[in-house]
Structure 1
Amino acid sequence: MDLNRVKQILSSKAEIPVNYHGVPVWIENVDDSSQMATVTGRDTRDEPMPVPINDLKEE
């Protein structure tokens, strides 16, 4: 996924399904400079973790 799409998803009022390595996640925020997003598991609400935005996939 690219940075602009991550920002669109973050600002959207709609629930847009996103996966990280096949696991459904919520995008909590994004860091433009590092190209990293902080995500939590959509089903588990695990601890937030930073991931490369390129590894996020929109369903």
Structure 2
Amino acid sequence: MNVERAKAIYNSSENIAVQLEGKPIWIEHVDEANGMATVQVGSNPGNTQTVRVDRLEER
């Protein structure tokens, strides 16, 4: 995935399925300048990671 698509998903009012290494995630923040995203893995709000957006896959 690229930064533009990650931002579009983040800003969308729709639920768009995104995965990180086969696990469902929610995008919480997109850092355009660095090509990074902060994501929540699964349904646990405490399980967040900052990863490169190119690791995210739209499903």
**Aligned residue number for residue 50 of structure 2:** 50
**Aligned residue number for residue 40 of structure 2:** 40
Could you say what the CA RMSD is over the residues aligned between the two structures, in angstroms?
1.1
Code of the residue aligned with 1:24 in structure 2: it is P
Q: Percent identity, aligned pairs only?
A: 36
User: Where do 5+ consecutive residues of structure 2 fail to align?
Assistant: none
Shift, 1:34, TM fit: 1.1
User: Where do 5+ consecutive residues of structure 1 fail to align?
Assistant: none
Shift, 1:43, TM fit: 2.7
**Aligned residue number for residue 7 of structure 1:** 7
TM-score by length of 2: 0.90
Q: How far apart, CA to CA, are the structure 1 residues paired with 2:46 and 2:58? A: 20
Query: 2:2–2:54: 8 Å Cα contact kept in structure 1?
Result: yes
**Aligned residue number for residue 24 of structure 2:** 24
- How big is each residue's C-alpha offset from its partner over 1:7-50, in whole Å with a ceiling of 9 and x where there is no partner? 11011000000000101000000111110000011333343210
